[in-house]
Structure 1
Amino acid sequence: MDAVVHEAGERFNRLGEAIACREEFLVEIQIESVLRTFPEYESRGVPHTSIATSARWNVIRALRALTSPTSPCVETEDQEMFVARERAEQGLPFDVMLDGYRHKHRVVRDEFVRTARARGASDALMFEVLTLLTDVADVATSRLVHARRSVDAESRTHADDVSDFVQRLLWGRADVQPSRNEVRAHGLNLDGRYRAVRGLSFDGANQRLCDQLRSATWNRGGGVVVELHGEVIGLVSETPDLVGHAVVALGEPHPLAEANASFQSATRVFVAAQQFGVRGVVGTDDLGLRVAIVADPEMSRVFVQRYIDPLATEGDFGDVLELSAVEYLKSKCELKRAARSLHVHPNTLKHRLTRFQQVSQCDLDDPRVLAELWWALEARSLESSNPALRTSGALESTVS
């Protein structure tokens, strides 16, 4: 009996030696296969180096099992806990993490079997290899599930602490500002500069948006993001990428102690972006004076009354004059270009603009008039628009 066991061990050892020479190849094919099969790894920003670390452990675990087939899972659970915690921090959903982990183990197992077959192994030996590595994968996967559930349970408790931390920073409550140690515990630098974010997913996937932003901050120098009152808020050190139907407004960069100022800036951008139907990652530079238009409705009313309301005396032709002014400004005050866009002769457009100036009592050669007219037309466009989603005001009432 001992001789049989010894002979089986020798066969496994020889196979293990042959496969050990191909460790890098086994790591690479796991990375390639999991990225091809599970696009979430890329979309959530999981670094290739992180996938490679897990893939290398899979190879080492399988090789150890071959050299000690009677005790294939002697290593500790630290590896699975590390993977579970890392994937959770990267925002990878539980089911994707689990399926990806199993997939990589299958890639390793299949390559081991192919190598055994290429070396002329018997059906009995290949069956032993297949059974052994399946057992290894089952034990490792079971440990990963247990580890991820533990991490997620910790995260739910931690989420309340993070939410409180973020609110204290963004609301600017001087009496409850976090300490340096607390700031470090949340992955931030007390001396760093951060941009507040305020976002909303338009397909009801705020949690996915939150995970995306967390993944971006995980890769780009730190930040903290939470979901609160149906929106996503937080701080990031760099401009994040965004995938999906959502808007993420960025405040201006500020020291951490002035996070409230950045959040106020992000809020103005957030409201303006929704009013104007802008999507994606946006900041003050992207919206420009549109932020001021939304923030100062009184000034908007003044300009609309000055330039647009007088056109009502022209009846339906007043709408034509307004449209002509809109296209003229869009065309950078180039008459022929604007006429082409309106499909009219340049002289026709010139006549309309002359009538517009007469009715509104303005001079379109005056830069100040052009600026005020643009403001009025942008404000006017908001009166007839009806964005599907606007801020609920829940956060505003919380801040106040």
Structure 2
Amino acid sequence: MGGRRLRTGHDWKLLAESCTALLERVPELVDEHLRQLAEHSPVYAGVLASDLQWREAEEAIRIGIETLSAPRESPRRDLEHAEDLGRHRAQQGLPLDLLVHAYRNAGYLVWDALVESAAGREPERLAALMRSATVVWSAVDAQTQTASEAYRATEAELRRRTDEQLQALLDALLEGQATPGLAARAAAGLDLPEHGPYAVVVLRAVRRDAHGQPLRGAGFRFIWRMRADCEIGVVALTPGQGLDGVAQALDGRCSGPGGISPVVPGLAELGRARRLAELALRTCPPDATEVVRLDQRMPTALVVSQPELADRLVSDVFGELLALEPADRAVLLETLDVWLTCEGSAGRAAGRLYCHRNTVFNRLRRLEQLTSRSLARPRDLIEMTLALDAYRLSGARR
């Protein structure tokens, strides 16, 4: 109960005498204090064992009363005890408002007992006690503040440790660790179903919403983990939610591209989903900004998953083309890319390229001559399409 003391004078002497006499009534005060706390909230009885709670309350009240009557230079035992108790209550899970209420309630009981002891005696003692009210209540305020600060600091530390533990569980799942019970522990800690539809998103650049917070797609629950060169998100899907909605929620929210895995049936499959999402991301050119689904980029994914074969494909298909001047080569490859995007329509491709459709035909014929392949033959068309993907994703950086 300590606080700033009366420095000199008769008031200090009378307050010290009253406090010393009150120490004999501490057991009585503790019993009443615990009774009132139990009436205020059943949480006290649920969190704290009765015997331990009684001893802790007795120690706190006794130290508080002794501090009020101690010399000014004495160590602040009351604040040291309040700090320890604040940490302890946070570890026990007692709500902070109940901790504050307990200190206030004890303060009222001590003050009422001091007034009661002085009321039946000489008026001088009661008057001195009234002049000491500020000292008593400043002490209660100081103890309450110290306990609250210690509580908040401990609560923050406990939350940080819990977050780190949950992040470690999530990291282990994303790494594909097969530790027994890992998925169940992660499900309990993250409040997620162990079994159910999930997808993983890998983003090359950090995606934030307008307020700088991790992205939260409408109707989707994302759990994010930061990496040095990307951000990984676990998406918990519900019935009716599909990957198109995930892509729409993510698209256009950052400057870099992203990859979305196929749906997997539970947390234990997140490692595989992460690898597939990374593969989807690798199908995006360096300057891309779109978020792509692996199941819609399978041919390109096959190319990027075999870089040595992809380089050989580029050399075999575009060998003579690669010997052209860069500007000339770029025009021909852009024409092929746009023509493929326009589903083989020279007229639509010409509109996008701002040239005549005959120009498109001429460029395509030149491509056929340089590659010794025909765009009219399905197998040749597949080779040229895959070679174009491989070139854009790897050969363009040569």
Q: What's the TM-score once normalised by structure 2's chain length? A: 0.50
Structure number with bigger Rg: 2
Question: TM-score scaled to structure 1, two decimals?
Answer: 0.50
